[in-house]
Amino acid sequence: MSIALAEDIIRATEEEKVDSALLYPVMLRFRQYCLVRSILEGIPGTLKQAKKIAKERGFGVREFQELYKAFRSEQRGVQRKILKAKLVRFLRSVRELVEEYVEEHRPKEIKTGRMKQLEELGEEFQGVLHVAEKEAAKRHKLA
């Protein structure tokens, strides 16, 4: 949602440069993606790894460093202006990464212990209901 919100704000902005505050939530999502990917691949989650992932997505080292510096400045409370076009490209790339990750790694079905209990109770109820219907049909035939 934070990526979508940033995207909406950027779309509404007519200026060529935008505040680094719009980069902040996008870079956070990118860092989260990098961390999860590092854990899944069993490699250290470093800035070097983040640069590698950015490069895989078509970002040059300098371009990524510029965005990352703006992000770090924003963390320290110093706003910077960044090119809207760069931010839009990065934002779309991060959104695609997140969507691809979710599609690939989202469990198809999650069942908690309570959900399993409810399913079993439902099956029992259906069985009892079925028996009751059979008995009612027998009584109806006899009558």
Helix, strand, or coil (residue 70): helix
Residue 83 is given by DSSP the state E
pTM over 0.75: no
Flag residues of the chain having pLDDT under 70: 107-112, 115, 125, 127-132, 142-143
- List phi, psi (to 5°) of 34: -60, -40
- 140 token code pair: 């109806």
Q: Please state the separation of Cα 105 from the chain's center in Å.
A: 10
Q: Which two tokens stand for residue 115?
A: 């959900």
**What is residue 132's predicted lDDT score, i.e. its pLDDT?**
67
- Report pLDDT for 125: 65
- SS percent in the chain: helix, strand, coil, step 5: 75, 5, 20
SS3 125: helix
Which residue ranges make up each domain of the chain?
2-105, 111-143
pLDDT at 116: 75
User: Is 119:50 a contact under the CB 8 Å cutoff?
Assistant: no
CA distance 82 to 10: 12
